[in-house]
Amino acid sequence: MRFCWLVCFALMFHAGFAQKTYVGVKAGGHASSAFIEHTIFNLNVNTTFLPGVSSGLVIRHVPKPGNSYLNSGIQLGINYIQKGWRQTFLTGEPSYTSRMNYLEIPIEGMGYFGGNNKYFISAGFHLEFLLNTELDPTPQLSNIGGADFYTYHEARDREFGYGARIAGGIFRDLDIGTFQLEGFFSYSFSNFIGPGDLTTETPDLSNHWVVGFTVGYLVSLGKKDNE
């Protein structure tokens, strides 16, 4: 939590000296899943998509536009995001849902171009801190058709992670503020399952990935481009 306050303070300090800084909110929907495998052993884990939502704050610093066709900036934020996966079985056993809710801090560089409608692409990394989990009851292991079953265990697994994020979309400045539509993809390089000894069949590869969209509204704290 101290880290979160430090990031917030740094963003506010940065905004005070920026030529043009946007501050706003965004929210959207997505589909998430997980890559669960083992380097040595062959695991039979069939994971599928799980719908989720995200929302958060965004701060974007854009230097004064020059004569270049392509302009650049930096974007930071704090998000609440639902990640997880659904495991299905070839028997009549109901599918199992694992949902993990994170506080996510993305830091991205961005480039944009255009006139009234500005098109952008951004890329960077994110840190993630597990807030809580929502896990279905354990399935009947005798009725999953020989599948392997693994889920999150608080005593064994990790609450902190990191990964990469890329996004693209469009935003438009109006007198009442800036409206934005964004599509994104994120992948957690860190493993959320603590594998321990590789001689066990506990997965040593367990990575979240998310694909979705957000809609945002931002206000500018800096001067207009023509001022």
Domain ranges of the chain: 2-220
Alpha-carbon torsion, ordered 38, 44, 48, 52, to 10 deg: -50
* CA–CA dist 167, 149 (Å, integer): 33
Q: What is the pLDDT of residue 65?
A: 60
Q: What is the pLDDT of residue 43?
A: 92
Q: What is the pLDDT of residue 223?
A: 55
Contact (CB, 8 A) for 115 and 150: no
pLDDT tens, position by position, 162-205: 999 999 999 998 989 999 999 999 999 999 999 777 778 899 99
Q: What is the pLDDT of residue 52?
A: 97
Q: What is the pLDDT of residue 29?
A: 97
Strands (E), 154-220: 160-174, 177-188, 205-220
Among the CATH numbers 3.20.20.140, 3.40.50.1970, 1.10.3470.10, 2.40.160.20, which is that of 2-220? 2.40.160.20
Q: What is the pLDDT of residue 16?
A: 44
pLDDT tens, position by position, 58-72: 999 987 665 567 888
Low-confidence ranges of the chain (pLDDT < 70): 1-18, 64-68, 222-227
